[in-house]
């Protein structure tokens, strides 16, 4: 089998003295999508940042295409993995196009300026997220949902092999949630990339992801299919869930909802 795009070996991660995962072993190959599920505060973001490099692990290691972050350095790692954080910070005034072009920086030499080809990639990314007419808009004038889509366009322009998305559906209406998930699944398959997402909607996770990583707290986790057992999910969220079958599709709903 080929070298995984993203691999974790005996990875243990904690924050503030709280253990998030203990000895996680994980391998993601081209075309695969993994969702991280768990209650608020269990450490989903911390784990994602450990996989992305900024958060140091307690033990074990993370590899991108067989190399550690130390091997790759900051610029080399940025060419291979892209992180979409929960919050976007816009300290300086800029246009939407200028903001999206930041995604090209890992691919430029130290004193290079963005080329016409880079600008074309940025405009294509804006079109992919439905913001083709926003290139000249000031970034501070956008709504929360529009700013989230600009952040995604910036990540697409970076062209990483591994996408790490922390709550990518935040601030998005349902139509844009589905459009973003469709876009990312298509990109991952076409580019031979891998995708890790933190999501809260278990039904969307089951529809668009191949595998699921459940974080139960105190280092306990379970790695398995994208549609986990309803008993595991009920324990995960501390609330009983039940399955509603609609033809071949299963929907998970909280008990007490829908009848």
Tokens 């033990």, located at residue? 59
| Every domain of the chain and the residues it spans | 6-228, 229-259
Contact 46, 57 (CB under 8 A): no
pLDDT at 135 (0 to 100): 97
> For 2, which DSSP code?
P
Number of Cα atoms under 13 Å in the Cβ half of residue 73: 3
**Model confidence at 167: pLDDT above 80:** yes
**Model confidence at 37: pLDDT above 90:** yes
CA distance 140 to 20: 35
pLDDT at 1 (0 to 100): 62
Least confident stretch, 8-17, 188-197, 220-229, 232-241: 220-229
- Read off the pLDDT of residues 127-155 as tens digits, 9 standing for 90 and up: 999 999 999 999 999 999 999 999 999 99
CA distance 75 to 164: 17
- Read off the pLDDT of residues 68-84 as tens digits, 9 standing for 90 and up: 999 999 999 999 999 99
**Radius of gyration for the alpha carbons in the chain, expressed in angstroms and rounded:** 19
- Protein fold of 6-228: Rossmann fold (3.40.50)
Kindly state the average pLDDT of the residues 205-216.
Answer: 94
Kindly state the average pLDDT of the residues 175-192.
Answer: 96
CA distance 70 to 162: 17
Kindly state the average pLDDT of the residues 111-122.
Answer: 90
How many other C-beta atoms lie within 10 A of the C-beta of residue 23? 13
**Model confidence at 201: pLDDT above 80:** yes
> For 99, which DSSP code?
H
**Model confidence at 120: pLDDT above 60:** yes
pLDDT at 246 (0 to 100): 77
Tokens 């876009």, located at residue? 183
| Edge-to-edge strand list for the sheet holding 59-64 | 18-28, 6-15, 59-64, 67-68
Least confident stretch, 73-77, 183-187, 243-247: 243-247
Confidence of residue 109 (pLDDT cuts 50, 70, 90): confident
**Model confidence at 257: pLDDT above 70:** no
Entry pTM: 0.94
What mean pLDDT, rounded, does the chain reach? 93
CA distance 60 to 86: 25
């Amino acid at each position: 089998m080929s070298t995984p795009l993203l691999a974790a070996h005996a990875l243990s991660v904690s924050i503030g003295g709280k253990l998030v995962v203990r000895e996680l072993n994980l391998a993601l190959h081209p075309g695969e999508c993994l969702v991280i599920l768990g209650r608020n505060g269990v450490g989903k973001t911390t784990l994602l940042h450990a996989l992305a490099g900024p958060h140091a692990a307690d033990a074990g290691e993370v590899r991108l295409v067989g190399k550690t972050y130390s091997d790759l350095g900051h610029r080399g790692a940025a060419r291979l993995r892209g992180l979409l954080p929960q919050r976007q910070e816009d300290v300086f005034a800029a246009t939407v196009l200028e903001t999206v072009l930041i995604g090209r920086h890992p691919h430029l030499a130290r004193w290079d300026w963005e080329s016409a080809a880079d600008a074309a990639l940025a405009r294509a990314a804006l079109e992919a997220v439905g913001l083709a007419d926003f290139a000249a808009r000031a970034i501070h004038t956008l709504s929360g949902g529009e700013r989230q889509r600009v952040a995604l366009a910036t990540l697409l322009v970076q062209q990483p092999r591994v996408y790490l998305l922390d709550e990518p559906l935040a601030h998005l209406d349902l139509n844009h949630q589905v459009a973003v998930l469709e876009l990312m699944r298509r990109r991952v398959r076409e580019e031979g990339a891998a995708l890790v997402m933190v999501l809260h909607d278990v039904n969307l996770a089951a529809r668009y992801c191949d595998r699921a990583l459940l974080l139960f707290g105190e280092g306990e986790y379970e790695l398995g299919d994208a549609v986990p057992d309803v008993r595991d999910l009920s324990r995960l969220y501390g609330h009983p869930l039940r399955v509603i079958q609609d033809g071949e599709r299963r929907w998970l709903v909280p008990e007490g909802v829908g009848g």
